[in-house]
Amino acid sequence: MKLRYSPTSPYVRKVLVAAIETGLDKRIELVTTSTADPASGLVKDNPLGKVPALLLDDGSSLYDSPVICEYLDSLHAGPKLIPASGPQRWTALRRQALADGIMDAGVLGRGEVLRPEGEKSPAFLALQRQKMAAAADALEKEAASFGTGLDIGLIAIACALGYADFRYAADEWRKGRPALAKWYEGFAKRPAMQRTAPPAQ
Ligand SMILES: N[C@@H](CCC(=O)N[C@@H](CS)C(=O)NCC(=O)O)C(=O)O
């Protein structure tokens, strides 16, 4: 398998952490892809022109990150990252959706920051930061129940918070969210998180 990859994408990081945690990373070749470069051929693998996209050995491809994570989870015999049924399944998937929403807002906000002067919308950026803060507040309320577990929801949350550190350090998401900060401190020590940290800026 080949993974269309960018070292700064939080969605790619989620896929990589899932792959490492399930021992599948050795079967995945990383293909560094610039989404801004039409010559990369990305749209042939994902018409939306986004990473991650997973190229399967039969020539087909999968996207987006929740679909890729579910596919990877079907390939191994160990403990599943996506519980098969029951409340645990819906909690894990809801948490993944919330964390992916933090990534969505963060990536949209980042796009706004990079716009040329005169085209920036401070109100749009403020709205995205507000969404990130509201989602982090919701996570703080349930962080005490995260424990030392591992599932797709917790992986996604850690990657979203890692992205907040990477691109929105000035927002200091830990302030006023001690339970979330404590949980993240432990989770971020996992080798899979350490190996996939975004590059220093
Ligand atoms: N919902 C998608 C989001 C993927 C996404 O937005 N990736 C960004 C990189 S962080 C991207 O490729 N952006 C390029 C673009 O939107 O043209 C997923 O979960 O995989």
Question: Using one digit for the tens of pLDDT, what is the confidence trace for 190-199?
Answer: 999 999 999 9
Crossing angle of helices 152-167 and 65-73, in 10° steps, is: 140
The backbone torsions φ and ψ at residue 64, rounded to the nearest 5 degrees and listed phi first, read -95, -160
Q: Is 96 in the pocket of ligand 1 (CB under 6 A)?
A: no
Q: How many residues does the chain have?
A: 201
Q: Is 5 in the pocket of ligand 1 (CB under 6 A)?
A: no
* Residue ID of nearest Cα to ligand 1 atom 16: 50
Cα–Cα distance, 51 to 190 (Å, whole number): 24
Residue pair 196/16 in contact (Cβ under 8 Å)? The answer is yes
Q: How far is the CA of 51 from the centre of ligand 1 (A)?
A: 5
Nearest to 170 by CA among 138, 191, 135, 201: 201
Ligand 1 atom showing the smallest separation from residue 8 Cα: 10
Cα–Cα distance, 184 to 155 (Å, whole number): 10
38-77 pLDDT, tens per residue? 999 999 999 999 999 999 999 999 999 999 999 999 999 9
Q: How far is CA 40 from CA 4, 35, 147, in A?
A: 10, 8, 41
What is the predicted pLDDT for the residue at 2? Answer: 98
pLDDT band at 200 (very low <50, low <70, confident <90, very high): confident
Q: Is 51 in the pocket of ligand 1 (CB under 6 A)?
A: yes
Cα–Cα distance, 25 to 117 (Å, whole number): 41
10-36 pLDDT, tens per residue? 999 999 999 999 999 999 999 999 999
Q: How far is CA 173 from CA 14, 29, 77, 179, 188, in A?
A: 19, 33, 36, 12, 15
